[in-house]
Structure formats: C-alpha cells, structure tokens
Amino acid sequence: MSEDNAAAESVESAEPESSPPAGTREDGQAHSQAQFGDLQDDSIPNADDVNLDVILDVSVTLALEVGRSKMSIRELLQLAQGSVVELDRLANEPMDVLVNGTLVAHGEIVVVNESFGIRLTDVVSPAERVKKLNG
C-alpha cells in the first residue's frame, strides 16, 4: 500500500473526537464553576474620599470666547487687514469663560494693570457642567 493510501485510510478510520462530559476537562479530571460575588459600583467615591490635593497643580487652559461666526472658505480667503467679521453675540452680552473647552462661567471684560481681565458674573454649577458633558 502506498503512503498516500495509508494516510487516506487512517483519516477515514479515525473516529470523530467527542467533547468531554460537562464538568470535566479533556484529561478527565473534574472542574468546578467559577463563583462571583455581587457586583458593586465602587467607581464613584464619596465626597469625603476625594483627595483634590493630587490635582491642584495640574495646568488647565482658561479662555474667553467673545463670539463665533461661520463663513465659507471663499469668504475666509477674502479676509484682509481691516476686514470686519460680525460675531453671533451682542456687544452687551457676557462673554463665555471656558476651561479646557468646557463652559464654566460668564463674565465681562475689565482692565487690570493695563491688561485685559474678566469679572465673573455667573458661574455654571457643577451639575450643569456634568449635564453638558453627558449630553
């Protein structure tokens, strides 16, 4: 018998492998089901557990947004020195104060030692900030 025929016969005569009975491994030894405790949401610490000292020196970017405007690329390319762009905010409206892009307050521009500053007129509550992040 040639080697090819012998290989073909051994494949045909091989019995299909069956899976081990439930609760046993392939080597015949028994195993048990994993036990899990109740799941709890420990990811939200209590206010008493929060240690803000670890983040007090983290730098953030505070920005003042005067207003916004939408325009086409064509209009943008036509801007030159002296061009005036109308913004979506009235002159007497408070400005938005953003920290890392998130609205945290509104305020008005003031001058402090020959530099611009902002006087906060309204601070957004933490609950409102969280709502805006989630929505």
With respect to residue 24, please indicate whether it lies within any of the assigned structural domains. no
State mean pLDDT over 117-129: 89
Please list, residue by residue across 27-43, b when 16 or more beta carbons sit within 10 angstroms of its beta carbon and e when fewer do.
eeeeeeeeeeeeeeeee
With respect to residue 31, please indicate whether it lies within any of the assigned structural domains. no
With respect to residue 119, please indicate whether it lies within any of the assigned structural domains. yes
With respect to residue 47, please indicate whether it lies within any of the assigned structural domains. no
Helix (H, G, I), strand (E, B) or coil at 1: coil
CA distances in angstroms from 86 to 30, 35, 68, 121, listed in the order given: 77, 65, 8, 24
With respect to residue 21, please indicate whether it lies within any of the assigned structural domains. no
pLDDT at 108 over 80: yes
- How does DSSP assign 55-81, residue by residue? TTT----EEEE-------HHHHHT--T
Domain that holds residue 100: 58-135
Under a CB-based contact definition with an 8 Å cutoff, are residues 117 and 110 in contact? yes
pLDDT at 8 over 80: no
In the chain, alpha helices (H)? 3-13, 73-77, 126-134
Q: Which of residues 46 and 118 earns the better pLDDT score? A: 118
With respect to residue 84, please indicate whether it lies within any of the assigned structural domains. yes
The domain total for the chain is 1
The lowest-confidence range among 6-15, 52-61, 97-106, 123-132 is: 6-15
* Residues ≥6 apart with Cβ < 8 Å to 124: 103, 104, 105, 106
For residue 15, the 8-state DSSP code is: P
pLDDT at 96 over 80: yes
CATH of the domain at 67: 2.30.330.10
CA distances in angstroms from 84 to 23, 24, 62, 70, 78, listed in the order given: 78, 79, 26, 13, 11
- Can you give the pTM of this predicted structure? 0.54
CA atoms within 13 A on the CB side of 60: 12
